[in-house]
Amino acid sequence: MKVKPAYWKAVVCAAKRDGTDCSIRLTPEDSDDIWVLYNILESGDEVEAPTTRKVLHESSSGEVTGSQRLKMVLSIKVEKCDVDLLAGQLRVNGLNTKENQHVKLGSYHTLQIEPHGPDEPDYFIRLTKERWDGLAIAALEQCLNSAKDEIGAVLMEPGLSSVVLHRAGCDQPMVLHRVQVPAAVPKKKGPGNEKAIEKYISETYAAMRKYLVVEKLKAIIVGSTEATLRDEIYRRLLSEATETKDRNILDNKNKFLRLQVKSGQPSALSQALDEPRIALLLADTRTAHEKKLLDAFQKHLTNAEDNVDLTAFGTNQVLYAAEQGAIKDLLLADSLFRSTDIRERRTIAKVAETAARMGAKVTVFSPNSRCAEELEKLSGIAAILNFALFPND
């Protein structure tokens, strides 16, 4: 997420002034950012963003003479939103709050918000809230400060390839593209065999180059059931990069790791991630940090001695601990953002605000992860304490 420091400072200051309304300009850069926006958006927020809208042309008598789709900037008051992470899209629906020559005040419109990279430096959306609560602040702050640790992979078997992405915090790979040769590759060598294999390799290589942004990834796994496949893809990659003087590939060729995998299906990525070189790269990711926190919490919970319990879980216990300044680490499940109970959200937000103000580190757990599922069993909110508050029964 790209946010100018001045805007971020204004939001934090507004939150400290008992929730005074404030706008922030930001640019989502990937699907993680889209997910964060989806979590922090609430009914009644105002979102301004570039969009397109079909505009009807009318004659002086009011008869429709044609239509045209125009680019414009609209500001809407949020009524509902939904997200498609695979497509990297957030759709925000509501009423137009600023009339212009093409769209009347109060007209319904849906903004479609997508990630934008460095090639679109001027793109931004403006988000205005009546109150920036502790949950929204914690999620945005964590998003801004966390590294985007990702592993890209092309997984191959004869006739089938999958280009996938492993995001920190997610147990399931994100399938970016799948290449499948229409007919089975002939087993006997000959013109038909060579032509089919060349088509398969070319399509796999093109998909890898199109969907994997090498400079943004920690590593790229080139995995296959047969060594000849991964060696040929890797050879072709370096050959073309040398010929075209592609510095993105040449300067990052040490990121490419050739591995044996069980199939060309996305599920084969889990096997590759267990490889020691990959495990080492992932050791400091958000996933590992969350697991370390949860393990520490469980250790304190099960090994408490001498009536000393350095844990709290459940809204009431954690809120009390926050008010006493006892929290060292606050653990929050991202599912809390989607609570339809306004009172519950406000209570959780109060916990986050109080804990942060008293010096606690607030961590919002990644969606769709095993750690998040374990935390949700504890009501989605837990804390590791600096000192004991509750008797160990």
The winner for highest mean pLDDT among 40-49, 112-121, 160-169 is 40-49
Q: Hey, what are 188's tokens?
A: 């006997």
Q: Which segment of 118-132, 327-341, 348-362 scores lowest on mean pLDDT? A: 118-132
In degrees and rounded to multiples of 5, residue 279 shows phi and psi of -60, -35
Distance CA 375, CA 350 (A): 19
Distances (CA, A) of 61 to 64, 65, 68, 101: 9, 10, 19, 18
Q: Which segment of 2-11, 50-59, 171-180, 292-301 scores lowest on mean pLDDT? A: 2-11
Q: Within 10 A of 10 (CB to CB), how many other CB atoms are there?
A: 17
Residue with tokens 């879980």: 313
The CATH number assigned to the domain with range 2-132 reads: 2.30.30.870
Q: Which segment of 19-28, 53-62, 141-150 scores lowest on mean pLDDT? A: 141-150
Domain 2-132 identical in fold to domain 286-385: no
The winner for highest mean pLDDT among 197-211, 241-255, 335-349 is 241-255
End-to-end CA separation in angstroms for the chain: 44
Q: Within 10 A of 133 (CB to CB), how many other CB atoms are there?
A: 19
CB 152 within 8 A of CB 266: no
Per-residue pLDDT averaged across 187-213, rounded?
76
Give the CATH architecture of domain 150-281.
Answer: 2-Layer Sandwich (3.30)
Distance CA 300, CA 306 (A): 12
pTM to 2 decimals? Answer: 0.57
Residue with tokens 């680019």: 71
Which has the higher per-residue pLDDT, 55 or 94?
94
Distance CA 372, CA 182 (A): 40
The answer on pLDDT for 191 being more than 70 is: no
Helices (H), 332-386: 342-357, 370-376
The answer on pLDDT for 97 being more than 80 is: yes
The winner for highest mean pLDDT among 55-69, 187-201, 309-323 is 309-323
CB 331 within 8 A of CB 365: yes
The answer on pLDDT for 332 being more than 90 is: yes
* pLDDT attached to residue 384: 95
In tens, the pLDDT along 70-88 reads: 899 999 999 999 988 667 7
CB 184 within 8 A of CB 169: no
The answer on pLDDT for 328 being more than 90 is: yes
CB 181 within 8 A of CB 199: yes
The CATH number assigned to the domain with range 286-385 reads: 3.30.1330.30
CA diameter of the chain: 87
Q: How confident is residue 183, by pLDDT bands cut at 50, 70 and 90? A: very low
The answer on pLDDT for 9 being more than 70 is: no
Give me the residue spans of the domains in the chain: 2-132, 150-281, 286-385
Distance CA 1, CA 299 (A): 34
